[in-house]
Amino acid sequence: MHRATLVSPIPISGHQERVISGHPELPISGHQSPPRDRSVTLNLAARLQSVGTPESIQLAHRIYACSPRMNKPCKHVLCPICAANTAKQRRRALERIYRQSSPTETFDLLTINTPAEYLLEGRLRLLEGWRRLRRQKRFGEAYTAGVGHIEYPSLSGQVGWNIHAHLMMRRKEGSGGEDLSDSWEALMKGLGGKGRLDVQEGYGAGLPFYVTKRQRRELLSLSDAQLEEVVRDVPGKKWVVRYKRFV
Ligand SMILES: [Zn+2]
């Protein structure tokens, strides 16, 4: 990309029209991506540009130039197109594990959360809590493996974030009935916050989709201050939580 393009404002609205109509002379490198994802990217790039921090402007240009079909994915976790592709790959991998499991194997949906005023504080607390939880004896007695990712919707009508993770967990044969929610609540309290743990046993075939889902438009609904926080405190790579490995 030319230097001039990097410093000029991104002409969002004009491009969006043409992306949707599939105009063959589009100057945008990622135009072959599904129009919905591309239009979310363009809107998000415009928002990031208007947030105006060096990081947000840099990210605006990065996702704007993202072009998986030209073999140039930007691979940023906040890029709508790359996030969708990653989610699809993970979903397929988990669906394969689900399909190939024996009839006696059970998978649970495990959800852990911690509300937090600041994204970074909440993420660190959730990850530390998860690290301690999975070392507990009764956790090891309940599960053999699991994987999921962290989501961070803003708390509606309040300041802060509902940092949470949904995990697909493979239950150990013969286990059941452990109550891990007390453990999680105690861990979160010990780390200066609060939080809840919820288990839905034997969730069913929709589980791989549920734990890999992406909320395509959630970033667009954030305020400028929240978006600035996301850009600063969400690492560029995946927010994954796991317990051992499925195999
Ligand atoms: Zn990308």
In a domain, 210, yes or no: yes
Please list, in sequence order, all residues whose beta carbon lies within 8 angstroms of the beta carbon of residue 188, skipping any fewer than 6 positions away.
Answer: 114, 125, 129, 194, 195
- What does the alpha-carbon distance between residue 197 and residue 2 come to, in Å, rounded to a whole number? 49
Are 121 and 34 in a shared domain? Answer: no
- What does the alpha-carbon distance between residue 92 and residue 87 come to, in Å, rounded to a whole number? 9
Instruction: Tell me the CA–centroid distance for residue 33 and ligand 1, in Å.
Output: 10
Are 45 and 148 in a shared domain? Answer: no
Instruction: Tell me the CA–centroid distance for residue 103 and ligand 1, in Å.
Output: 38
Are 97 and 202 in a shared domain? Answer: yes
pTM over 0.85: no
Whole-angstrom Cα Rg for the chain: 20
Are 197 and 96 in a shared domain? Answer: yes
Mean pLDDT within 106-112: 96
In a domain, 25, yes or no: yes
Mean pLDDT within 118-123: 94
In a domain, 9, yes or no: no
In a domain, 104, yes or no: yes
The letter for the amino acid at 222 is: L
Instruction: Tell me the CA–centroid distance for residue 156 and ligand 1, in Å.
Output: 28
Instruction: Tell me the CA–centroid distance for residue 107 and ligand 1, in Å.
Output: 31
Please list, in sequence order, all residues whose beta carbon lies within 8 angstroms of the beta carbon of residue 101, skipping any fewer than 6 positions away.
Answer: 107, 170
Nearest to 231 by CA among 74, 91, 48: 48
Instruction: Tell me the CA–centroid distance for residue 28 and ligand 1, in Å.
Output: 13
- What does the alpha-carbon distance between residue 99 and residue 101 come to, in Å, rounded to a whole number? 6
| SS3 assignment, position 38 | helix
Are 135 and 40 in a shared domain? Answer: no
20-24, 26-30, 45-49, 150-154: which has the highest mean pLDDT? Answer: 45-49
In a domain, 189, yes or no: yes
Instruction: Tell me the CA–centroid distance for residue 68 and ligand 1, in Å.
Output: 7
Cα–Cα distance list, 57 to 42, 52, 190 (Å): 13, 6, 38
- The structural domain count of the chain equals 2
Six-digit token pair at 105? Answer: 């194997």
Tell me which residue range forms the domain holding 68.
Answer: 17-81
The letter for the amino acid at 231 is: V
**Lowest-confidence segment of 9-23, 34-48, 173-187, 233-247 by average pLDDT:** 9-23
In a domain, 187, yes or no: yes
**Do the bridges between strand 143-151 and strand 107-116 make them parallel or antiparallel, or are there none, so unpaired?**
unpaired
Mean pLDDT within 44-70: 94
Are 62 and 100 in a shared domain? Answer: no
**Lowest-confidence segment of 37-46, 152-161, 186-195 by average pLDDT:** 152-161
Instruction: Tell me the CA–centroid distance for residue 191 and ligand 1, in Å.
Output: 35
pLDDT in tens, 167-182: 999 999 888 777 899 9
For residue 147, give the CATH number of its domain.
3.30.70.260
**pLDDT at residue 127 in the model:** 95
Nearest to 188 by CA among 244, 132, 117, 111: 132
pLDDT in tens, 93-105: 999 999 999 988 9
In a domain, 3, yes or no: no
Are 39 and 129 in a shared domain? Answer: no
Are 73 and 102 in a shared domain? Answer: no
Are 75 and 95 in a shared domain? Answer: no
In a domain, 117, yes or no: yes
